[in-house]
Chains A and B, each alone.
Chain A
Amino acid sequence: MNHLLKRKSRGDMWFDVINYFLLTVIMLIVLLPLYFVFIASFSDPNLIYSGEVWFYPKGFTLDGYERIFNDSSIWLGYLNSILYAGVGTFIGVAVTVFAAYPLARKNLVGKSVIMWFLLITMFFSGGLIPTYLLIKDLNMLNTMWALVIPGAGAVFNVIIVRTFFQSSIPDEMWEAASMDGCSNTRFFWSIVLPLSKPIIAVMVLYHVVGFWNGFFDALIYLNDGNKYPLQLVLRNILVQNQVNAGMMVDVESYAAKMRVTELIKYGVIIVSSLPLLILYPFLQKYFVKGVLIGSIKG
Chain B
Amino acid sequence: MKSKDSGIDPLMMKSKRKAWSRVKRDYELYLFLLPIVLIYVLFRYYPMYGVQIAFKDFSPSQGIWGSSWVGFQHFIDFFNAYNFWTIIKNTLSLSFLSLVFSFPAPIIIAIMLNQMMSKRFKKFIQTVIYAPHFISIVVLVGMMNVFLSPNSGIINHIITWFGGEPILFMADEDWFRPLYILSGVWQETGFATIIYLAALAGVNPELHEAATMDGANKWKRIWHVEIPGILPTIVILLILALGNIMSIGFEKAFLMQNDLNYATSNIIPTYVYELGIQKAQYSFSTAVGLFNSVINIILIVTVNRIAKKMTETSLW
Q: Are B40 and A23 in contact (CB under 8 A)?
A: no
Confirm or deny: A153 has a beta carbon within 8 angstroms of a beta carbon on chain B. Answer: yes
* Cβ–Cβ contact B39 & A215, under 8 A: no
Q: Assess A128 versus B276: contact at CB under 8 Å? Given A105-B29, A184-B26.
A: yes
Q: Is the CB–CB distance between B132 and A23 below 8 Å?
A: no
Are B138 and A131 in touch, CB under 8 angstroms? no
| Chain A residues within an 8 Å CB radius of B149 | 262
Interface size class of B (residues with CB under 8 A): 35 or more
- State A4–B154 Cα separation when bound (angstroms): 47
Q: A12-B218, A215-B136, A265-B145 are in contact. Are A128 and B130 (CB under 8 A)?
A: no
Contacts of A101 in B (CB 8 A): 29, 32
> B143 — which chain A residues lie within 8 A by C-beta?
33, 37, 269
Contacts of A213 in B (CB 8 A): 134-138
A260 and B140 CA atoms in complex are apart in Å by 20
Chain A residues contacting B43 (CB-CB under 8 Å) are: 131, 134, 149-151
**Nearest-Cβ distance from residue A294 to partner chain B, whole angstroms:** 9
CA A283 to CA B127, docked complex, whole Å: 11
* B218 pairs with A15, CB closer than 8 A: yes
Report yes or no: B28 in contact with A153, Cβ–Cβ below 8 A: no
Q: Are A27 and B146 in contact (CB under 8 A)?
A: no
Distance in Å: Cβ of B315 to nearest Cβ of chain A = 9
Is B138 touching A239 in the complex (CB atoms < 8 A)?
Answer: yes
Task: Please give, as numbers and ranges, the residues of chain A lying within 8 Å of B186 by CB-CB distance.
Answer: 29-30, 33
Interface stretch (choices A56-64, A230-238, A246-254) = A230-238
Contacts of B191 in A (CB 8 A): 287, 291
Among residues of A, the one whose C-beta sits closest to the C-beta of B111 is A19
Say whether B293 faces chain A, with CB atoms less than 8 Å apart.
yes
Contact stretch, chosen from A68-76, A82-90, A193-201, A272-280: A272-280
Distance of A184 Cα from B26 Cα, bound (Å): 7
| Bound CA–CA A33/B139 (angstroms) | 12
Q: How many pairs of residues, A versus B, come closer than 8 Å at their CB atoms? A: 263
In the complex, which residue of chain B has the Cβ closest to the Cβ of A234? Answer: B138
Min C-beta distance of A19 to chain B, whole Å:
5
Select A11's contact among B26, B49, B218, beta carbons within 8 Å: B218
Q: Quick check: B112 and A99 within 8 Å, CB to CB?
A: no
User: From B256, which residue of chain A is reached at the shortest CB distance?
Assistant: A239
- A153 CB to closest chain B CB, in angstroms? 4
Stretch at the interface among B77-85, B86-94, B284-292: B284-292
**A105-140 contact mask (Cβ, 8 Å, vs B): 1 or 0:** 101111000100110010111111111111000000
CA separation between A120 and B5, bound complex, in Å?
32
Q: How far is the CB of B117 from chain A (nearest CB, A)?
A: 7
Asked whether B152 lies within 8 Å of A49 as measured between CB atoms, the reply is: yes
- Chain B residues near A118 (CB, 8 Å)? 36, 40
Q: Which of B19, B53, B161, B277 contacts A51 (CB 8 A)?
A: B161
**Which residues on the A side are within 8 Å of B138 (C-beta)?**
213, 215, 231, 234-235, 238-239
Asked whether any CB of chain A lies closer than 8 Å to the CB of B65, the reply is: no
**Bound Cα distance from A23 to B121, whole angstroms:** 10
CB neighbors of B among A1-21 (8 A): 1, 4-5, 9, 11-12, 15-16, 19-20
Contact of B134 among A149, A209, A231 (CB under 8 A): A209
Contact between B198 and A99, CB atoms less than 8 A apart: no
Quick one: which of B125, B255, B272 contacts A27, CB cutoff 8 A?
B125
B176 is an interface residue with CB less than 8 A from chain A:
no
In the bound assembly, the distance between CA atoms of A98 and B130 in angstroms comes to 30
- Contact A117–B40 (Cβ < 8 Å): yes
A102-B29, A262-B146, A262-B149 given; A19·B22 CB < 8 A: no
The 3 A-B pairs at the shortest CB distance, nearest first, are namely: A126-B47, A238-B142, A130-B50
Chain A residues near B (Cβ < 8 Å)? 1, 4-5, 9, 11-12, 15-16, 19-20, 22-24, 26-27, 29-31, 33-34, 36-37, 40, 48-49, 51, 53-54, 94-96, 98-99, 101-103, 105, 107-110, 114, 117-118, 121, 123-134, 149-153, 158, 183-185, 188, 209, 212-216, 220, 231, 234-235, 237-239, 258-259, 262, 265-266, 268-269, 272-273, 276, 280, 283-284, 287-288, 291-292, 295, 298
Add 12 more A-B contacts to A31-B128, A130-B51, A234-B136 (CB < 8 A): A1-B208, A15-B218, A20-B121, A30-B132, A37-B143, A37-B146, A127-B290, A215-B136, A237-B142, A273-B139, A280-B134, A283-B134
- A-B contact list, 23 entries, CB within 8 Å: A5-B117, A20-B121, A31-B128, A34-B131, A34-B132, A51-B152, A53-B154, A95-B36, A99-B33, A99-B36, A105-B29, A117-B37, A128-B285, A129-B272, A129-B282, A131-B50, A213-B137, A216-B251, A235-B138, A238-B146, A239-B138, A259-B152, A291-B195
